[in-house]
Structure 1
Amino acid sequence: MPEGENSQVANAQPPAQANTAPAPALNGVKCETPAQKPAQNTEAKAAPGPNQPADSKPHPYSHAQNQKPNQRAVQNNRPNQAQNGQNRNQPMKRFNPVGGHKNQPEAPVGEKKFTGRCRLFVGNLPADINEKEFRELFARFGDLGEIFLNTQRSFGFVKLDTRLNAEHAKQELDGHTFKGRCIRVRFASHGAAVRVKNLSPYVSNEYLEQAFSMFGRVERAVVIVDDKGRSIGEGIVEFERKPSATQCINKCTENCFVLTSYPKPVIVEPLEQKDDEDGLPEKSINKNQQFYADRESVPHFAANNSLELEMALKWRDLYELEKQIKEEGLKKVQEAREQLEHDIEFRLIDYKEQKIKEDLRAKQEELLRIEDMRKNEFQRRKDMDGAGK
């Protein structure tokens, strides 16, 4: 604690209602008030460390003086924060929910900077653009990270510090004319992202991130939920580097990676990324001959008794057949899932029962061994007493 805080605590005045005047002497013997008596049980109290807070020291107006001696002794025997290498100004270290190791700090809270979600793709760039001009084009939106520029194919990538700044840059520069070219700005696909399936409903974003950090640094981990905030059993993990994602997929495919006590391994697959925000603007469609042939007709309903209606109904029948096959397949999978869960539950119960029996048998054997030792010791003493007589 800083010296200023120590001096404030040391010079603190007692409350107005407390009687702190020294007691008068009786028969020449000076009496001490409870506040003036020396602290008891000093042997059990550890010496204060260099970072020990001031409130851990005995204070004349502390409520500890009003406690019973045995209560003060219990408090004195408790380890303080200074002995554990912690103080008030340091964040409390907690248990790691994945490994179960003590003193493992939790993942930092807040948005991480310069992640894959902040990376933009810039297309239709002028052929004579250089890296300095490309950097100046995005510099006003925030701090810039890595930059890649391919002048031969007129595209580039730029990574900004935050997602918000990247969204601002995309909104302002998409469709912007630069050196006579209408540039296109979109979010780049995250090449180090994976999809995780078979998640327990008790796996959170933080738990998922710490579980997959064993494969490499994780930029973002999120559990997908429905409209009611309940987990659908799937999640997305975005790594900082692509080799980490590749290693994660390979190891989880070759082995069974289980996140909780329930023996259900997660399924890890490459993330199939889709753009459901910008979609396909009209300006991005290639205006070729097929485009104009397809646009000859405006949106309409097929006329009755027409060839167009006949062909359209065939496409609808094909869709209904596909839907029916998928529903039948999902029904069979659900039945197999329920049967597997029932078998696993029965197997776990049987395993626990066998484990209890083995433990009971081992304890019985230990009791018999102790009983034999007791009998042998009794017989040895009896023989010694007989030999002494």
Structure 2
Amino acid sequence: MTYNNDNNCKLFVGNLPRHLTYHELRKLFDQVGEVKFAKVLNRENIKVPYGFVIMSNENEAKRARDTFDGYELDGRIINVEISSQNKQGQNQRKVRKYQQDKQLSDRVMFVCNLPYSLGENELVELFADFSCENAALVVKDGQSKGFGFVRFPTEELLKEAIRMMNNHKIGDRYLKVRKAFKDDDVKVESKTTTNSTENFQTQIGQENQEEEEQN
């Protein structure tokens, strides 16, 4: 079997949990694109396990990096880099840098491993018990990529939602949730504005159609 070995499609994934398998690593990255190859190096002589993932193209590799760099996986903050930009020996220094420099949001949650059929209204409803304000799915070509962002009115409700909903089963999937980064706040806000405009235009169109039918 031949893989695309272009370093712009290959990702280095550092600070992995000790018992993570390549199947689990592949399943994680499958959420953001097509995984061609995944490998985990976690032998006993390796102090901190790490791995490699090859995506089908450069855009998917960048999306995977942007999604999972700094992601919490089984208690570890993993770091993800495009292989051509990685210096493996800097792994642990980079992990500490993410922990120190990346600011977490106090209102927005990152959620992944969602069913692809789940819509944004259903995502809001899923977190309705925590007074969810709105949600934004990451979509490509009209199809959900299985992850997105949810905003709450207070940090306390965000923390409670994380505590209660991480590993919550929906269909045949188990949700993975954590605090989003501060930079992600705008993704929910801009999505809300877009949705509001689209909903308004849809509503006007429906009203015009009803008037025409009545006339």
Say yes or no: TM over 0.5. no
Higher relative contact order (CA 8 A, sep 6+): 2
TM range (shorter): 0.3 to 0.5
| TM-score, length of structure 1 as denominator length | 0.21
